[in-house]
Structure formats: C-alpha cells, structure tokens
Structure 1
Amino acid sequence: MAEHSSANELTFRLPRSRRSVSRARALLHAVLGEWGAAQDVVDSAELVLSELVTNALRVPVPRGRQMGVRITRSVGEGLLRLAVSDAGGGRPELREPGADETGGRGLLLVDALAHRWGCEERAAGMGKTVFAELKAPDIVAAPAVREVAAVLVVPGQRVRVWGEWRTVLGVRSEPCPTGGTMAVLDLGDGPALRVHATESLAVRAGECAG
C-alpha cells in the first residue's frame, strides 16, 4: 500500500479485498484524531468511507487494479472530503431498495450523513471517483509537515507510517534486491520500516533530536 500524507491530505491505495474496508477506517480514524475532529464527525466519516470502499469493491474492474482513497480537509470551510477511486465504469445511483432486499442501502446512508456527495471522472486513466463531503467545524490546522526522501530522515524526527506518527530511533541503509538502496528506519515498537531511499516520507518539522 503506497501512502502519502501532507498537512491537509492523506492518500493511499488499497487492494480489492474486504479487509481494505477496515484498513481504510483505521487510517481515517488515525488522521481525524490528529485533526481534532469531533466524535460525531469521526463516527459519520467512518460509516461513509466504509460504504464508499464497499461500493468500489463491487464494481467490475480490470485484473490487478487497486482502489485509491483520498482524505482531505479544508480548515477554513470546516469540511472533510472523502474520495474513493476505482477503475470501473458506471456511476453510483441513489435508489430505494425493496423491503425484502438485503443490500442497496449504502448510498442512502451516504446521502443522509454527507453535506454533499457525487461522482467525477478520474483526471487520468479509466474509472471514476466517488466523493462525499462532511461538515467538520472542529478540525484544526496541522503542525508543520514537510516531505523528505527517506534517506534524509534522521533519528529523533517523527514520520507518518501505517496511519500514525512514529518516532525514528535509528536509520541505516541496505542494498535493495532489485537495485539501488533501501532506507531502514527503526521505529522502536514494531517492525522497522524499509522503503526505497528516494521515497518521500512526511516528517514533522521541528522535532529533530539534534
């Protein structure tokens, strides 16, 4: 899963698997915690994103395609935007399922919880992006964040990995099996992060140890 984050945005790609629904929720929960969103906004956003990801999973797409998820905020407007992209055709349609139908209510939930929602053609490539915007007046500005190549990260900084900020305890390099150099970041609790030396990582500015 490739992940990119900045002060007001988190984007990542997910495989077409049911487990991706819970993964998307976990990442959303983490970033909304940082952004200071109220609990009712968090609850609504998790439900909406779950439905958007679930609907994307149902769309037939070419083999090997993943889903793209983008979470952004506008502090000035007090809005949270959730967007899920897939490589499939068609457009989601709001409908009233029959009393004996077990599915088809996802978009009704999105429509009820979102300030507005819609569907756009992807700017590049095939497929579409379905988005929903929620009112989130409590979201706050993030601390200064900058993007640096993994090889430039130093111990004492905090990097955003696996949906949360982690303190870097040590950095080393090792050869990449496919060529080039890997940066290995020791994050203390849990496995080390291994990424290509040139891959960009979000680093919190001003939290360097020296």
Structure 2
Amino acid sequence: MAYMIDRCPSEDSPRLGAMTLYPVAESVSLSRRWFRKFIAPYNPACSVDDCVLMISELVTNAIVYGQSDEVWRVRVEWFREGASLKVDVHNAGFPARVKLRRPDAVDAHGRGLLLVDSIADSWQCGPSRFGGTVVSFVMADAWPT
C-alpha cells in the first residue's frame, strides 16, 4: 500500500493529502485509519467521523464496482477549498455506473451513496483525471474563513 501526504497546503496546492490503495477489502479499513490520522493536524470543524464513514462507503464502492483489464488502484485525495473540505475517490470504473439508489428495507446493499447524499453538503461524480471515475463529496464550513 502507498500513501502520500502534503504538509503545507497553499493557494497553489490546496491538496492536504492523498492515498493510493489496492482494490482489496482491507483497503477500506486502511482508508479510514489513514484519513483520520492525516486530517487530524488540520483540525477540521466538520465531523471527521462522518467523513470517515463516507470515505469508507466510497472506497468500498470503488473496490466493488471498479474494473479494468490492467492493474489499477483506488486513489483518495482530500483538499481544502476555501472553508470547505473536498474528498475525491478515484477508481477504474465508468462514471455512467454511479447511481443513487433507494434500496428497500430488506436490501442488503445499495446504501453507500444514499449515506453520502444525506451527510455531505454536496457530492458529484464524473470522469477522473486518472482515467475511470471520481466520486467527490464536500463538507462546507470545515474551517473558519
């Protein structure tokens, strides 16, 4: 597993950190642990627990639905954009496959994006600059302006 962290965000480099994960189940718990560790020095006012939950759901979706004929990784990046925290999760899947579902009470799956939709101030999906798909969420007012 690999990870990278930027210690000195600036206007030219708003990225606070990033991690690259293998598309395996163990990466979900690693993403939670690493994000919690690496965001702590920035002391965001938003709920880190909520962010960890959403990252966990999006990394799980990336692992389950990402696909490629080549070796691929899941990439998670987090940024400070003004007073907001933005988190991107990149995978090798196709943007058209990202759909918000409304599962029945008896459905065992399908609640990941529903959780993101209900917790985040906003979320979106589209083509990733690395190829594949990126799903992003924003937590507004994560830092005082």
More strand by share: 1
2:138 aligned with 1:133, yes or no?
yes
- 1:7 is matched by which residue type in structure 2? C
2:21 aligned to 11, 14, 18, which one?
14
Partner Cα distance (2:50, 2:110) in 1? 18
Asked if residue 117 in structure 1 is aligned to residue 123 in structure 2, the reply is yes
Report SS of the residue matched to 2:6.
Answer: strand
Distance 1:59 1:52, change over 3 A: same
Whether the aligned pair in 1 keeps the contact of 2:100 and 2:113 (CA below 8 Å) is: yes
Q: CA RMSD in A?
A: 1.9
Partner Cα separation in structure 1 for residue 109 and residue 90 of structure 2: 21
Give me the whole-angstrom Cα distance separating, in 1, the residues matched to 2:78 and 2:144: 13
Q: Which runs of 5+ in 2 are unaligned?
A: 10-15
Equivalent-residue separation in structure 2 for 1:69 and 1:137 (angstroms): 18
Indicate the structure with greater helix content.
Answer: 2
Query: Where does 1:188-199 land on structure 2 (aligned, <5 Å)?
Result: none
8 Å contact from structure 2 (residues 85, 142) kept in 1: no
Identity percentage of aligned residues: 29
Structure 1: where are the runs of 5+ without partners?
Answer: 141-210
Contact (CA 8 Å) 1:82, 1:131: kept in 2 or not?
yes
Measured in 1, the distance between the counterparts of 2:61 and 2:54 equals 11
Structure 1 pair 19–81 and aligned structure 2 pair: CA distance change class (3 A): same
Task: Give the aligned partner of residue 47 of structure 1.
Answer: 53
TM-score, normalised to structure 1, is 0.59
Corresponding letter in the other structure for 2:111: R
Q: Which of 15, 33, 36 is the matching residue for 2:40?
A: 33
Q: Deviations over 1:110-140 (max 9, x none)?
A: 001101000121224x301110001243469
Q: Are 1:58 and 2:59 an aligned pair?
A: no
Structure 1 pair 17–106 and aligned structure 2 pair: CA distance change class (3 A): same
Inter-CA distance 33–4: structure 2 relative to 1 (3 Å threshold)? closer
Q: Runs in 1 of length 4+ with deviation above 6 angstroms?
A: none
**1:85 aligns to 2:90 (yes or no):** yes
**TM-score, normalization by structure 2:** 0.84
Task: Quote the residue 2:80 is aligned against.
Answer: 73
Check 1:30–1:60 CA distance in 2 against 1; reply closer, same or farther (3 A cut): closer
3-state SS of paired residue (1:100): coil
Shift of 1:4: 4.2
Paired with 1:31 and 1:120, the residues of 2 have a C-alpha distance of 26
Are 1:59 and 1:88, in contact at CA under 8 Å, matched by a contact in 2? yes
Write the distance in 1 (CA, Å) between the matches of 2:67 and 2:58: 16
